[in-house]
Chains A and B, each alone.
Chain A
Amino acid sequence: MAGVTFDKVTKRFDSGLPAVNDFNLVVPDREFLVLVGPSGSGKSTALRLLAGLEEITEGRIFIGDRLVNNISPKDRDIAMVFQSYALYPHMTVYDNMAFGLTLRKVPKEEIRKRVGEAARILGIEGLLKRKPRALSGGQRQRVALGRAIVRDPAVFLFDEPLSNLDAKLRVQTRAEISKLHLRLGTTFIYVTHDQVEAMTMATRIVVMNQGTIQQIGIPQELYDRPRNLFVAGFIGSPAMNFFDGTVVREEGALAIETDGIRLPVAGEKEKQLSSYLGKKVTLGIRPENIHAADFTPMGIRGSVVEAEVEVTESLGNEEILYLMRDGKQFLARVDPRTGARPGIKIRVVIDLERLHTFDPESGESIGLPAAEEKAEQEIQTASP
């Protein structure tokens, strides 16, 4: 059991460009932290730095109170589950799980006990004598998990462990890893490019892009209050719609004007936007905050807009509409009873309470503190 601290960690490869840049993060004990970002965002590199599989260029990493910069991977008290599972193909499942313990000279009886226990938790008792090639993808994934569990490490590391599973198994395993986290009560650090995995499993999410932390927060916070355009566009599926707009004054109140539509803003948002009067802003609206006019939920304060339907995607419980207005495409997630067909015009309602506004130059959300400041604060409060 231990927390993890990254203190101003930077990793530069031979090319000179930093893969991870000034990375500050405090992971408390027992947290399920998910690092999420597109490929090349540095999330895997951050994990590999923690595992000791890459050398740190600058900065310090602590596991618990222990500085691990110069400690070899095997002595860091961590276990890692690889995307490829990395099972030893010539060993049986039992030997795969026992390998790490054998090398550490754990008594045979103890090994048998621990492997048996892990196999029971994962439901793979019947597979212990098989070789990896005789296992299905899901079973191999469990063996890889089991190999980490028997080690009883202070921190579990996961590098996209579900990417090679089919969709159904992925959902199932997701829930099982969450259960495992509750059961083991250990720190989990999990890397994925899949924001659904991040949202569903994490107690906290770190969104990364181009080697830097974009935002740290609990899943709902990232969804409701994305700190910048990148996080806003990355979290949520389908992605948020973005429009170029200008802040104008209309009948005494502020409004955002975009392509001939005026969306009045009120309350907190109005205060935040007051300094942007007459300036350009980027407006973000999530597809689920655009409703079909005839099926708008009660109590929504909205503006009605007319748009042409280009494509419809029916998912049964909802329908995704690709709408076009004045040459600008945007998506709406509407009630399946809407009955929209490609080519027709439809009236939609934009929920004015759920508008996101960003500074088009910096990309930062208007009215939220910048990401780095928040991370800085955290490291100061929790640094060992």
Chain B
Amino acid sequence: MAPPNPSATSEAAVKARPVGVQIGEAVRKFAGRLPLHVSVIGLAALWSIPTIALLVSSFRDPGLVVTSGWWNAVKDPFSFTLDNYETVLDQNGMARSFLNSLLITIPSTLLTILVAAFAAYAFAWMRFPLRNFLFLVMVGLLVVPLQMTLIPVLKLYVSLNDWFGFLGNDVPLLGGRWFGTNSYAGIWVAHTAYGLPFAVYLLRNFFGGLPRDLFESAYLDGASDFKVFRRIVLPLSMPAIAALAIFQFLWVWNDLLVALIFLGDPDRAPMTLTITNLVSSFGTSYQLLTAAAFVSMALPLVVFFALQRYFVQGILAGSVKG
């Protein structure tokens, strides 16, 4: 006789029990989990309050914002307005700033991922002298404060201004210099350099976790290192690359300091810079700041949700386990 299937017997046992017992069990299960649910929801609410406050305030009348707390907005009189957004978007150069932010952030993010992925592949899978030492140096750079580097890098950029001077002082369409201070390329390189230690560290650890057999199998199949990188490593590393893309995008998008140092020209200022100037020029009218903050948050949110689908669990399933 075949041995009884254990799952079949337990299913039968569940069916055989009276309905009352089943409901009782469900209630008990729910009650058991209740503290967990309450605390998780509570924490989530707590973390969301500042953002909600900001959102509510951004739609309130400027007069009300300064006289009463944001929670009064839900009471009578309901008076919501788009005035704040209108004021912010009508500001001189805000549209241009949005474009500038994109022009700075997208290349900086792509460049970081590209360079970091190449470096991480080499550190993880290629044999060359001093590999571990160089990797340690790279990771060691994580502890160097960004602020320490601003003056030396700025001095370097200033001297490069003359170097690239022969190309003329205005890049067609984009504006600004070709390289050095007040140039897009300069800030791309700066952001990429600042982002690389973390990016290489993150990706190397992920690449290093991919099964060795996959690489050896691909080598035997006739793949070069570049083919392995492109056809095997990149597709399998999308979760890590998506995570890195979000990190880097947010960091560059929200950056004020690097932009302030290297891109002084208001024509090329990103939103962070323009918003800061907005606040200082309007004194304490912080209701404008709330609206500006939301305008600035909109794109990162879109990026986050767009990349979210790459956070796939078990991307390696079926590869090397029996």
Contacts and interface: CB of A to CB of B under 8 A. Distances in A.
Interface of A: 51, 53, 72-74, 78-80, 82-90, 99-100, 103-104, 131-135, 137, 140-141, 147, 151, 163-165
B245 to A, nearest CB: 19
A103 B227 contact: yes
Contacts of B232: 88
A95 to B, nearest CB: 10
Given A86-B216, A103-B227, A164-B322, A74 B222 contact: yes
Q: How large is the interface on B (under 10, 10 to 19, 20 to 34, 35 or more residues)?
A: 20 to 34
Contacts of A87: 318-320
Contacts of B319: 84-89, 132
A145 to B, nearest CB: 13
B213 A89 contact: no
B322 A100 contact: no
Given A83-B213, A163-B322, 14 more contacts: A73-B216, A74-B220, A74-B222, A82-B216, A82-B320, A84-B213, A86-B214, A86-B320, A87-B318, A88-B231, A90-B236, A100-B220, A132-B317, A141-B322
Contact of B315 (A51, A83, A90, A100): A90
A100 B322 CA distance: 22
A50 B316 CA distance: 28
Contacts of A73: 216, 219-220
Contact of A103 (B221, B314, B320, B322): B221
Given A80-B217, A90-B235, A103 B318 contact: no
B318 A131 contact: yes
A100 B228 CA distance: 12
27 contacts: A51-B220, A53-B220, A72-B219, A73-B219, A73-B220, A74-B221, A79-B220, A80-B217, A80-B220, A82-B213, A82-B216, A83-B213, A86-B211, A87-B319, A88-B218, A88-B232, A89-B318, A90-B236, A90-B315, A99-B221, A99-B231, A100-B222, A104-B222, A132-B318, A134-B318, A135-B318, A163-B322
A88 B318 CA distance: 8
A361 B219 CA distance: 46
Contacts of B318: 87, 89, 131-135, 140
Contact of A53 (B216, B223, B235): B216
Contacts of A165: 322
B219 A89 contact: no
B321 interface: yes
A104 B220 CA distance: 11
Contacts of A85: 213, 319-320, 322
Contacts of A163: 322
B3 to A, nearest CB: 15
B322 to A, nearest CB: 3
Given A133-B317, A135-B318, A164-B321, A88 B214 contact: yes
A89 B317 contact: yes
Interface in B159-190: none
Nearest to A48: B216
Nearest to B213: A86
Most chain-A Cβ atoms within 10 A of its Cβ — which of B314, B316, B320? B320
